[in-house]
Amino acid sequence: MISLRVTKRTFKGGAAVSHEKRTADCETIKMGVPEKVIIPMLQHIGAPCKPLVKKGDYVKVGQLIGQSDKYVSAPIHSSVSGTVTNIISLVSSSGTYMEAVEIKTDGKQEVHESVKPPEYSSDAELLELIKQSGLVGLGGAGFPTHVKLSVPKDKKIDILIVNGAECEPYITSDYREILENSWNIVSGINILMDLLKVEKVLIGIEDNKPEAIKILSSIEATNDDKIDVVKLKTRYPQGAEKMLIYSMTGRKVPPGKLPMDVGVIVMNVSSVAFIAEYVKTGMPLIKKRVTVDGPAVNKPANVEVLIGTPLVDVFNFCGGLKDNVSKIIMGGPMMGVAQSSLNDPVLKNTNALLAFDAESAKLPPESACIRCGKCAEACPMNLLPLFLNQNALRENIEGLKKFHVMDCIECGSCSYVCPAKRRLVQSIRLGKALLRKSNS
C-alpha cells in the first residue's frame, strides 16, 4: 500500500492566504461542444507553433493542427471536428501576437485516424510520444513535458515529486483529479518511474485536503512500496517547485538552477494522470478540467472543457456571470492572469477561471512604503521586494540585477502581506521585462 508520511519541514516565508475552496465537493461535469473553438498556436512556454491547416479544411478530434520545429515547444491538436473558418491573430497573456485556428464545430466529434493507443519499446520512443501528445505542465506553468523529462546524461534523478499541493485559493481542479482519477495518477507514476529510473516517488498534498490524502495513501498498486504520500503544511506557495522540493526532501535548489540539479523532477498530478490516459488511448491533450468560481459566477463548478472553448461559453455553462462582473482571471488570484476579453479561449494550462464583482476586485489605494519589512519576511525566495519595487519604478537596471529580480517566482506573497498595499509583484514583473529588454 502507498504509505503516508507527515512532514513538519516547510519553506521560510509565504502567506496564510484564505482558501476559498468552495468547489472542492463539486464533481467534474462535462461541458458539451461549443459552436466554435479558437485554438492558439502558443499555449506553452517556448516557440509558437505554425498552423498546419487553412481556412475551409475539415478537421477531426485529435488531429495535429499546429507544430514547431523548435525543441522547446509542444504540438497543438484539434479538440473538435468541424471546419476551419479562419486563422486569426490573438494577443497572448505576455502581450505578444500569435496565430490561432478558429473552427466551426459540427457536433459529430469524429475522431482522427491518427488517434490510437500508441506503442513504444524504448525510453526515447516514449519521450517522443509524450512530445506528440502535446502535453505541457497542467498546473499552470505550461512548460513542455517532454523537455522536462529529457534528463541530460550528466544528471541523475533519484526522486520524482508529484505535485498535488494546489495552494492557490479557489482552485480545486487537481483536488478533483485525485478524487476522481487516482488510478490514472498511480499508473502515470509507474510509467514515469520506468522512464526516469527513479526508486522513490513522493506525492505532495497540503493538509487541508484530507480526503485526497486518504484516497491516494490507501491504494495498493505496482511499486506502492516506493511511493509515499507526503502530508504538507498548508501555506502559500507550498506548490511552487522550489518550496515543494525543500518541504518534501530538504534539498535546496540554488538560484538559477533547476530541480534536476538537485536530483528531482516535479510533475503536476493532472499531468501524470494524463500520461497514463494517453498511453491507453492515444488521445492527445484536447480537454482540461477547469475550476469556475469567484463571487461573480452564478454556479461555481469544476468543468471538463474542450481546449479552445471561448470563456463566455464556459461561464454560461456555469449559470452565467452576475451583472456587476468587473474582473476575470485565468488561473488563481495570486498568480493568474487578468483576461481582457470573454472571447479568449481556454488553454491547455488553464486550471481555473475566476470572476470577481466590482467590490471584490477593487484594489485598495497604494500608499508609501513604511519600511516594515513584512514583504521581505514573506518572500519565499529570500528577496527584498521593497527594493525590487523601487528599482523597477525607477527603471534602474543595475539595481534590479543587484537585488536578483530574475529569482522572483511571482508568487505575490509580498503584495498580499504589504500593509501599504504596494503593487509589488506587478512592478517586479515590469522590472523583469525591463531587464530582459536591456539584455536583448
Q: In angstroms, what is the minimal distance from the CB of 430 to ligand SF4? A: 12
Q: What are phi and psi of 20, to 5 degrees?
A: 55, 30
Q: Which C-beta is closer to ligand SF4: that of 56 or that of 254?
A: 254
- Residue number with CB closer to ligand SF4 (292 or 378): 378
Q: Give the shortest CB-386-to-ligand SF4 separation in angstroms.
A: 4
DSSP state of 395: T
For ligand SF4, give the closer residue by CB, 24 or 379: 379
Residue 164: CB minimum distance to ligand SF4, A: 22
Residue type, 212: A
* Minimum distance, C-beta of residue 427 to ligand SF4, in the bound complex (Å): 10
The total of other beta-carbon atoms located within 10 Å of residue 160's CB is 24
CA angle at residue 339 from 386 to 163, to 5 degrees?
70
Chain residues binding ligand SF4 by CB under 6 A are: 369-375, 378-379, 381, 383, 385-386, 408-414, 418-420, 422, 424-425, 428
Using alpha carbons, list the distances in angstroms from residue 37 to 59, 114, 354, 391: 12, 21, 20, 42
CB-nearer residue toward ligand SF4: 41 or 386: 386
Tell me how far, at minimum, the Cβ of 256 lies from ligand SF4, in Å. Answer: 14
Helix (H, G, I), strand (E, B) or coil at 394: coil
Q: State the nearest-atom distance from the C-beta of 15 to ligand SF4, in Å.
A: 8
CA separation for the pair 161, 170 (Å, rounded): 23
The CB-of-140 to ligand SF4 minimum distance in angstroms stands at: 15
Smaller CB distance to ligand SF4: residue 84 or 388? Answer: 388
Angstrom distance (rounded) from CA 317 to CA 303: 9
Least distance from ligand SF4 to the Cβ atom of residue 160, Å = 25
> For residues 179 and 408, which CB has a smaller minimum distance to ligand SF4 in the complex?
408
Question: Residue 6 carries which DSSP code?
Answer: E
Residue closer to ligand SF4, measured from CB, 5 or 394 = 394
SS3 sequence, 263-303? CEEEEEHHHHHHHHHHHHHCCCCCEEEEEEECCCECCCEEE
| Cβ nearer to ligand SF4, comparing 41 with 411 | 411
Q: Report the distance separating Cα 304 and Cα 174, nearest Å.
A: 12
Give the Cα separation of 39 and 21 in Å (integer): 29
318 or 411: CB nearest ligand SF4: 411
The CA–CA distances, whole Å, from 365 to 275, 327, 387, 420 equal 46, 17, 20, 8
Using the minimum distance from each CB to ligand SF4, give the nearer residue, 41 or 243. 243
Q: Is 384 exposed, middle or buried (0-12, 13-18, 19+ CB in 10 A)?
A: middle
Cis before 255 (ω within 30)? no
Measured CA to CA, the distance from residue 27 to residue 302 in angstroms comes to: 6
| Shortest separation between residue 414's beta carbon and ligand SF4, angstroms | 3
Query: How many helices and strands in the chain, by DSSP H and E?
Result: 13, 18
> Least distance (Å) from ligand SF4 to the CB of residue 334?
9
